[in-house]
Amino acid sequence: MSGASAEGATRAARPIASSRRAGFGFDLHARASTSRARLGTFHTPHGAVETPAFMPVGTKGTVKGVFPRDLRAVGSTMILANTYHLHLRPGEALVKELGGLHRFMDWDGPILTDSGGYQVFSLGHIAKIDDDGVTLRSVVDGALVRFTPRGVIDIERALGADVAMAFDQCPADPTARADVEAACERTRRWLELCVRRHRELGAEETGQALFGIVQGGIFADLRRANLEAAVAHDLVGYAVGGVSVGEDRDHVRAGIDASAPFLPEDRPRYLMGVGTPEDFFDAIERGIDLFDCVTPTRHARNHNAFTSRGKVNLRNGGWKRDGAPLDPECDCVACTRYSKGILRHLCTSEEMLGPMLLTLHNLRFFHRLMERIRAAIAADRLLELRAEALPAMNARLSPDAAGDAE
């Protein structure tokens, strides 16, 4: 279902830009003419990722409710795990002892570990940040835990993902300039420490790349300065962080505009923790290649589905007698083997199969959207795809409207 071969056929014989280092590399195949959208391939020791791509989140070493085999079947190529959660339980030493993160997650494709910087932001009420790192209480057993730039790189090295994210500070309020400035300064200094530790460990030569993270909140000058300090390290890839943390959509767009265009064109660009179909179009048009978010999996567990015709809340009583598929355009098991009425029964009965099916559907929906976006960039018609597809996806599908339509 991945559509990779179709993409191959539309590519130029040679990339427009390319980087190669150890087991990593990035090929830029095409640029859109009406936006900064890019078509690329990110190469890792565990395989290639066609970009733009969405990476499902496997916080504690499992994408919730999904067998790894089925992840592959719905089109996932690269997945995430969370350094913070795996450090607390079961601990990186045990993950390593049990065979490393790929074995632990039963996933032989590329994996990326975040660094815990975002968890520090989201757990701010129990975290104490100083110039050298962060101290917080474990949500597992209440113990005090210390995260430092060097320490996080050591944890990520032991976990063994293909991509380790640098330890950054995500400012709590992206509009508070003094706080953002301080966070940028820490992020800059911590990145130096991360890069040094990563080199000491010889990580890149043994299969693990380091990505730097650009902070700067809504301030273009701070983002630019933070970005240039990061790019000076000549890393395998870069991320845009601290975006979509509560600010409005215009500020989100401005934050990406102040970052992505200035990143080297031959390296992958990853927008952290985003998001929704509209976010994807916004960010891809601004030059982003990689995404991760818990939206598809978390929404599924709350019985909410993304579809080509709008968002569907399966608990809505109006779906009770609905014999039509959740999304007639989708090829996933939930859409080809079940009707909305049956899915609703599974959800209202609190059966595991409801979230299991909806998780596969939502992931398939996100991956299919990325496939369509890649095809549209190749055909240089991304804006047309946005105009055709996004308004319906953004709507909420109500049972009455569906009844009219079918």
Residues recognised as catalytic? 114, 292
Check residue 363 for interaction with a second copy (CB under 8 A): no
Look at residue 322 and give its three-state secondary structure. Answer: coil
For the window 299-338, what string marks contact with a second copy as x by the rule CB under 8 A?
---------------------xx-x---------x---xx
Check residue 61 for interaction with a second copy (CB under 8 A): yes
Sign of CA dihedral 44, 46, 51, 55: negative
Among 6, 12, 98, 126, binds a second copy (CB under 8 A): 98
365-391 burial: b if 16+ Cβ within 10 Å, else e? bbbbbbbbbbbbbbebbbbebbeebbe
Per the CB < 8 A criterion, the answer to whether 289 and 268 are in contact is: yes
Nearer to a second copy, 8 or 99 (CB): 99
Does residue 391 have a cis bond before it (omega within 30 degrees)?
no
Place of tokens 């030059």: 287
Does residue 399 have a cis bond before it (omega within 30 degrees)?
no
Nearer to a second copy, 283 or 356 (CB): 356
Look at residue 313 and give its three-state secondary structure. Answer: strand
Nearer to a second copy, 75 or 277 (CB): 75
Check residue 341 for interaction with a second copy (CB under 8 A): yes
The first and second tokens of residue 251, run together, are: 């500020």
Among 342, 376, 389, 393, binds a second copy (CB under 8 A): 342
Among 103, 128, 146, 315, binds a second copy (CB under 8 A): 103
Cα distance between residue 335 and residue 318, in whole Å: 18
Look at residue 142 and give its three-state secondary structure. Answer: coil
**Segment near a second copy (CB under 8 A), from 94-102, 150-158, 362-370, 392-400?**
94-102
Among 1, 12, 33, 97, binds a second copy (CB under 8 A): 97
Nearer to a second copy, 233 or 345 (CB): 345
- Within residues 25-44, the interface with a second copy by CB under 8 A covers none
Least Å distance between CB 155 and a second copy?
A: 16
Cα distance between residue 151 and residue 131, in whole Å: 14
The first and second tokens of residue 1, run together, are: 């279902």
Other C-beta atoms closer than 10 Å to the C-beta of 185 total: 17
Which residue in 312, 308, 313, 255 sits closest to 279, CA to CA?
255
Least Å distance between CB 193 and a second copy?
A: 30
Give the number of residues in contact with a second copy, rule: CB under 8 A.
36
Nearer to a second copy, 175 or 316 (CB): 316
Q: Which residues bind a second copy (CB under 8 A)?
A: 60-62, 64-69, 89-90, 94, 97-99, 103-104, 106, 320-321, 323, 333, 337-339, 341-342, 345-346, 348-349, 351-353, 355-356
